[in-house]
Amino acid sequence: MSLFACKLKELRLKTGSKQIDIAKYLGILPRTVRFYESGEHEPDIDMLIKIADFYNVSIDYLVGRTNNLNSHKNQ
């Protein structure tokens, strides 16, 4: 499983989100969220941005480049 898939599932479970809620926000089917979480599919850059916005984390965090959730924000 990719780092992205692990981070995505971890965030969903940590926040108590449901796949259907995320899917509605992203404008995709819930099965697509399942595919992302299982590593069967990966989102394009536009979808990655939406996912980062949904969870209020950086794209770098989602793809495993940092463990800092908010590395995109100015300090």
pLDDT score of 74: 46
Over its length of 75 residues, how does the chain's per-residue pLDDT go in tens digits?
789 999 999 999 999 999 999 999 999 999 999 999 999 999 999 999 999 999 999 999 999 998 877 765 544
pLDDT score of 68: 78
Nearest CA to 70 out of 55, 57, 60 is that of 57
Pick the CATH number of 3-62 from 1.10.287.620, 2.130.10.30, 3.90.950.20, 1.10.260.40: 1.10.260.40
pLDDT score of 72: 58
Domain layout of the chain by residue ranges: 3-62
Q: Is-contact 2 62, C-beta < 8 A?
A: no
pLDDT score of 75: 41
pTM for the model? 0.87
